[in-house]
Amino acid sequence: MSQLIATDVFYDEPHGLAVDLYQPNEPAKGGVILIHGGGWFQGDKRKDADWAERLAAAGFFVLAPNYRLAKTAPYPAPLDDMATLLTWCRAHDLPFPSAHLAAVGASAGGNMAVELGIRYGLPVVSLSGILDIAPWLEAHPDVVLVPRDPEGSAHRASATLNQAGTDPGFYKWFITNYLPDPTLYASATPAPRVNATTGPMFLANSLAEFVPMSGVLQMATALTAASVPFTLQAMPGSAHGKGYLDAVFADTVQFLTETI
């Protein structure tokens, strides 16, 4: 069992950014920052309330934050917001051991979780993280951008989004929407920045899904070279992110329990 103990707690008042807090009914094993997806252009912390409740029920204190979206604050602003959240966590007496903190997310949230693992050494769970950025864009110069109405799926459950397989036009659109300056493509690509202090990672991706497998394979190569422990789970079919959460949830809980 678990409980939602606070909603809309401001961690960055100047930007109006808040976090929801979920507490297990027993002493927490550690804290988990759960970062919502949505291609950096849509989404909200409330869309992952179901995932947060499951993680809290598994014994973790969960922090589900909002962050600035790309329409008004492109890269690296959302990552700066997660750095602000970490500072806020360390400044408050939260009910878990402060050194025991992990980052979890799917899709764009998976990218941001990986970035926290690289920058701060946190253990990471990334489901269908957007990880192949500069190499993919360089290899697909002729793909035509296919915009998607930001409001069209804003209220749908995350597990129903982008479940139909590849969509390179949309994939290219939301990455370049997040990264309007092409000179930042390389700096926004995680794998080349993996180092010996990077946190252990659980990486999952479907073999025929919306997000190419190349991203997790790049990460696996980089993590191996840096001697960083990781688990890579390749899922059959085209399910994206939370679309296969049930199939990997027990494994992610075990990973977090062992690494947090």
User: Which residue has tokens 């399910």?
Assistant: 239
Q: Domain with 128 in it: what CATH number?
A: 3.40.50.1820
Q: Cα(16)–Cα(145) distance, rounded to whole angstroms? A: 31
pTM: 0.95
Strand 31-35 and strand 61-65: pairing? Answer: parallel
pLDDT band at 149 (very low <50, low <70, confident <90, very high): low
Question: Residue 127 carries which DSSP code?
Answer: E
Cα torsion 49, 52, 56, 58: sign: positive
Q: Cα(158)–Cα(107) distance, rounded to whole angstroms? A: 10
Asked, as a colleague might, if the bond just before 229 is cis with ω within 30 of 0, I would say no
User: Which residue has tokens 């982008």?
Assistant: 162
What six digits make up the tokens of 193?
Answer: 């920045």
Share of the chain above pLDDT 90, in %: 88
Question: Residue 92 carries which DSSP code?
Answer: S
Are the C-beta atoms of 233 and 203 separated by less than 8 Å? yes
Are the C-beta atoms of 182 and 230 separated by less than 8 Å? no
pLDDT at 155 over 80: no
Give the list of residues 6+ apart from residue 145 with CB closer than 8 angstroms, or none. 169, 172, 173, 176
Torsion angles phi and psi, residue 112, rounded to 5 = -70, -35
**Could you report the per-residue pLDDT of 192-213, keeping only the tens digit for each?**
999 999 999 999 999 999 999 9
| Helical (H) or strand (E) element with 49 | helix 49-57
pLDDT at 165: 59
pLDDT at 53: 97
Question: Residue 94 carries which DSSP code?
Answer: -
pLDDT at 237 over 70: yes
pLDDT at 148: 76
Number of domains in the chain: 1
What 3-state DSSP class applies to 17?
strand
Q: Tell me how long the chain is.
A: 260
pLDDT at 246: 97
pLDDT at 3: 83
pLDDT at 90 over 80: yes
**Could you report the per-residue pLDDT of 157-181, keeping only the tens digit for each?**
665 566 565 789 999 999 999 999 9
What 3-state DSSP class applies to 160?
helix
**What range does the domain containing 143 cover?**
2-259
Give me the helix-helix angle, 77-91 and 108-120, nearest 10°: 60
